[in-house]
Structure 1
Amino acid sequence: MAKLTVLVVDDEELILHVLLRFFRRRGDRCDVAPGGAEALRLVEAQRYDLVISDIAMPEMNGLELIRRVKERQPDAVCILMSGLGTRGDIIEALKIGVFDFIDKPIPDLAALTMVIDRAAESGRLVRERNALLENLREQNTKLEYSLLRLHEAFAQLHQQEAVLESDLQKAQRVQRTFLPAGFPRVANFDFFGYYAPCDQLGGDFFGTLALADGRMALYLVDVAGHGVSAAMITVTFRELMRAGHRSTGQDALFGEPARVLRTMNEALIAEHFDPPIYVSMIYAVIDPGSGEVNVAAAGHPPPILVARGGAAGDVEVGGTVLGTPAVTDYRAKRLLLGPGDALLFYSDGLSEMRSPQGRELSADQLREIMARQHAQPARTIGAEVERRFLEHLEGAASTDDITFLVVARTAAAVEPTVRRPDEIIPDSVKIVMPEKLRRVSGGARGQIHAGFRGRTCIVQFRGLTTWQLAPALREMLQAAKARAEPPVCIDLDGCEALDSTMLGLLLQQSADLMLHQPNPRVLGQLHEMGVLHLFKISHDPCPQPQVAMAITPAESKQACSDLILSAHEALMEASARNREKFRDVVESLRQENAAAVHAPPK
């Protein structure tokens, strides 16, 4: 236990002498004062963990002294000594925050030690609580300010809608310039690219790089998320790539896919984005002369190869998503494409898209599509992929950006000339932008409320619900388990979005929940996490509670940290893709929690 700083106040010299020796033998620092005036002078100059005072002293009694000490040092633990204390004195002492009483003459030292140890522990808990509350106040102030600014922005949305739509259209045109107008003509190869963001701006992009030795690099990038924020990140990531390629002597680097991924991972980490940015990427180098394709991937779905005879299968390449500090040994795989062979590179928005009935398109169906396309032109293959996924959606909108590239070998090499960079293949890139602006609803501060209707528990989500509400949600779900019958009705009608902690917490209880009226954004989040199929969904209005639930979530920093970790562990275990996506995040949270548990007391 940490050593204490103690002040003993008594007008009896013997008491001061005994307690001074007692605390010094314990290794504590101890000051003594014969009266209230001297004690207050010491309190002004020194912070004390523990103040022990006689209750009956001339000039200033112990109650008045403790009251003044508490005004100056609210965290100090105070103990009164008295052999003549009345019931009124005890009540008054409790009112001003006295922790305990010691009878005079002083009892045996073992009993005194127990009182002191309990007082020290109480003081430590008070300081920790106050530090946490102060931190929460600071964070809440920042959050209140941020939310206030958000409310101001949302209040102007209806007035600015026309301007916003115009700006988004301009931004679309700018982002459109980041994508190639078409693929360059390359001897013996044919290409097709498709891009359809689910919002006005997307987080996917692709392109090519000309290498000095006549080879061509081809890449497809998927920034986590979609919409405006993801689009801004694509600008940053694209510039990191372009800057590296323009640098003198970097041509050899960009001819080696595994090195490119390592370099881009290091560049992302060096930018110190907060929160971190995660990017999946596939990068290939094509040699038109030999038909060789050298490919590597980072957190990206494996490409599909259709080879002679129409057999289609995955090209097993993989590595951790870019932006994670974990050391990853990216490895490239060399393929030799023969005439008629083709590769399909795609983002997970294609393979994980769901029909209105919740059926996933899946990589299996993509392999089946590709198996029937051997020896077809790249544009024909791309048109068939588009036809099939539109048929799968049945007219519904996709909840994620859809991007894919087709690389087809057309004929055996007949000459060393490998490309004509000033000429592009007509109609080799197709971009499909959303037709209308998605209206943004007025943002509400994140809130959750719970109550009961008979034996049914209802939890209502409102606004942007984030990790700060997770302790309250946990208490609500625990109360529901104790007092109600499953399923717990989760009312999402007024919920704009959930962060990953809230998603993970709901996932842990998914078997006992019914999600009512989730909006497309929330459904999209569940789909992106690969957990939509684990929830029961109802589009009927949620019943309204008749009796409110009162809860008091624990204000423990460690408990909140454990809750965040537990939620992300649940997400990680939901699918193989999530294990890859969240592995390093969860490991980082585990290390932070372990460090917090073993940190020495302040």
Structure 2
Amino acid sequence: MPPVIKRLFNHVPKARLSLRLVLWVFLCVIVIEGIILILSANNRRNELLAQLRAVSIARVKVVTHMAGKEASGQDLLNLYRTYLVRSSVLGGRLYTSDGDEQIGTFGEKPVLEVSPKTPEMHRELLNRRTYRYDALCFIAGPGNDYILILRHDAMGARHELHAFILRIIGLVIIISVFVTAGTWLAINPLVIKPILRLRQDLINAGEAVQADRHAPSFTADVKNRPDELGDVIIAFRNMFDQILEAIDRRKRAEHSLQQSLAQVENYTKALNNELEKGRQIQREFLPKRFPPLTNWEVAAAFFPARQVSGDFYDVFELPYGRVGFVIGDVADKGVGAAFYMALIRSLVRIFSGNYRSIRENRLTESCTMFKGRFQSSADQTDVLKAIDLTNAYLLQNHSDEGMFASIFFGVLDPDTGRMTYINAGHEPVFAVGAKGRVEQLNHTGPAVGLVADYVYQPSEKIVDPGMLLVGYTDGVTEARSPFDEFYSRQRLRTMLESGGSVSAEATVDALRQNLFDFIGSSALMDDITILAIRRTAGEAKTSSTLA
């Protein structure tokens, strides 16, 4: 390779960006010139065909003028056959002026035909394969007017058009090469070298920041670059100065942040310890074991969304051999809900007349008076007045907090299976019959803590042998799958219908397994509580299970 060409080749930029830009410029030039070529070729073809047609029409006029005034259409046709069929004109077809009647043809027959409905755009036809060109013209004859379609041999026009296209293609190649080469040579000093210097500056700046060194010397020139790339270089240097300033501030703040972090860790540890104590205390509020009940099974499961929860359940003995059971949900989560859960659970126990342990500790005289009044009545509905009293207490003493809770409170006579209950805004309890039929025990009033002086009306249900009662909180029905789908009350009902009235423990285990299979990897969004009570089919059996 000659030294001059070698030196020139060495100066040609080889960076990937330059190659992309040059290729893009080349393609743009080719596309633009290609569009111009297509338009120019079409215009040139039309010009050549128009010239061919004009020459033929001029010859037709000369031949027509040769005919006498008395010449007929057939005479004109014979003259055209004699004088026109030569060189470029190969034949034709003659019509009357209205195009309804064909007088005759001469030479090679044209493909183009004429009729009164022939549109203007269909008055010429070019066969691109054989390059036969049919053109229609109107003839003013000696006596009448005629329509003449001439068939031409356009191969001469085709050869001239091809020569024209080749000249244009050569011009396109020359322009593309010069534009591309000029761009390729100019892009290196204008764009590529400054970018490579800026890249090296970025690498040096990153190494300086990583090694915590002073600012390095930058090589990118900004003095003679009043353009966008110069703005980028200036912005980079300003950014680097800001980074150095931020690092300096970070160093000054690092020591104090470490001290603060140690304080936060100690505080977090203490808070977690307190929350863990709260969780243990809350678990103490939930029954460790259920009262032994002949021919009854009881099982429960409890899964808080946080360390402490607003859900609760309870099963406790009442005077006259009755049994009360409660499942509730305070309208919140966390510490506040846990406090209200403990309060409401205690209020329900106290107001329902569960004084066996309270009397031993000699609590207030008012409680003793209430207990005496309860013992004087054997009606289960009196026990349910505890919901009215709990609602009144919350609204009188804690209305400012805006806290409320949904509660299902049922009172059972274990011997007869008679159950009276109040559903204060809670999820419906499902009663599953021995044959799998499911019934909903719906709301009988609003949640406690919402409506002042509300009088809750109890309902009654006979729990037959083999029947299963399933209570739950909305953490069950509103649990979400990884696909953001709710578990739903209908899904729970369908599961209970398919499972039938099996044991309370088996029901809780099956529901827990089905629910957590549905939740999968999703986080618990709300506390989950399940309580199942089943009256066995007459066999002497007692079950008390906590899940």
Which TM-score band (shorter chain)? 0.3 to 0.5
Q: Could you tell me the TM-score, scaled by structure 1's length?
A: 0.42
Instruction: State the structure with more CA Rg.
Output: 2
Q: Could you tell me the TM-score, scaled by structure 2's length?
A: 0.46
More helix by share: 2
Q: Greater RCO between the two (CA within 8 Å, min separation 6)?
A: 2
